[in-house]
Amino acid sequence: MYTVLDIETTGGKYNEEGITEIAIHKFDGHEVVDKFISLVNPEKDIQPFVVKLTGINNKMLQSAPKFHEVAKRIVEITEDTVLVAHNAQFDYRILRTEFRRLGYAYERKTICTVDLSKKLLPDAESHSLGKLVRSLGIAVSDRHRANGDALATLKLFKLLLAKDSEKDIIKTVLREASTGELSERLLDIVESLPSATGTFYMHNKDGEIIYLSRSNNIKKRVNQQFIKPGSRARKLQKETRKVTFEKTGSELIAQLKEYEELKRIRPRYNQPKGKLFTHGIYKEKDDKGVLHLKMNMLYNNSKPIITFNGTESGASFLQKISNEITTDQKDIVNYNSEIETLLLKYSIGNRSVIILDKGREIGEQSVVYIKDGTYKGYGYCELNHQINNIHILESIITPARGDANTNHFITSHLRKKGNHKIVELNP
């Protein structure tokens, strides 16, 4: 016996979401034998983007039952069944979180139709619910409402059951990992993490780092790893016994740390990548001496001013520069000077500078140190004299080895982010 369900939530931070609507269809493998559909008063405001997506607003839920008023019905209709949902770990986590708030340990086995469809429909262009059911010709109404999505999932599940002629897929996807100690452990791990910018490290039972990454919201990113479908993700979830983290404050430092530590540690579940860019901006003068910027693919021993991971971002940058130029080309000296000034704004060149950005706490600022055009490391300071004195500055810096990729990270940050401050260092 199965219960096919979908849940709509308020959105928001991990473990702070509330259920706004739930739809459950009890399915015996042939037909629906029971169902429960209800709006739910989450006793908190709905995020504006969720209102726009679902059409459910705070006013609609004022007279709806609260979760504790529908909890018994949910327990009864799902008892002795396997929960079926598209990205089942998300819906299951939301349900378990709500029941934990009531002091009740809610445990069910689950089947994820994302997993099933990837195995049985590997050639599908997308495995998102909307695109998948459309590609299969499954009629759907009320997308992003609980009952509409639950019915779409039910129709998809019926099709997948029919395609699984050997029943091998269901046996392998039906997992015990969603119940008992493992799920509780992962929930406890996530709850201990901060919603802060930094790097995080997943450790196995021996303390070995098996995965590391960065995020501007560590708690959210780790949770995404723990609800991610797929066999590789399941292995990582099963092996993880502890997650440690380092706050960086600065997104740039988090990116630089992730890159350096991937190269040094080489975790089992993620490896460092090679060159992260394909194109560059080069400058050249025409026969009149007017400076021009051009984008080309990288070639051997070339030294581009700024690098890009594709033509689109490079073209966008050239347009940005063009829009910022105020001098006419006829005034060659001033026109060229203005281009050089703009390039200094968005590139490193051979300069010695520090990039100041957010710190890990109030009153602190982060420092990225660049010497003669090469990234040298990062650090944190509270007082201006720490950065104005080169000897003190170098003593607070955690050394790092810069390369073409770190320069790419830094120049990309300079182009896209506006919270930093660049300070030129005297030679």
pLDDT at 179: 36
- pLDDT tens column, 160-176: 887 765 556 555 544 44
Of residues 7 and 299, more confidence is placed in 7
pLDDT bucket at 385, cuts 50 / 70 / 90: low
pTM of the model: 0.59
Beta strand segments in 298-359, E: 306-308, 353-358
pLDDT score for 171: 56
* Mean of pLDDT values over 329-357: 88
- Give yes or no for residue 180 having a pLDDT over 50: no
What mean pLDDT value characterizes the chain?
85
Q: Which residues of 11-25 are buried (b: 16+ CB within 10 A; e: fewer)?
A: beebeebbbbbbbbb
CA–CA dist 72, 85 (Å, integer): 20
pLDDT at residue 68 in the model: 93
**Residue 418 pLDDT exceeds 70:** no
pLDDT digits (tens, 9 = 90+) for 360-375: 888 888 999 999 989 9
Q: Which amino acid is at 240?
A: T
Nearest to 223 by CA among 249, 251, 181, 186: 186
- Residue 304: CB atoms within 10 A of its CB come to 22
**In this model, does residue 155 exceed pLDDT 60?**
yes
Could you report how far apart the first and last alpha carbons of the chain are, in Å?
74
- Both tokens of 327, joined, read 């001098």
Q: For 63-90, what is the mean pLDDT?
A: 92
- pLDDT of amino acid 15: 72
State the pLDDT at residue 181: 35
Give me the pLDDT at residue 427, please. 62
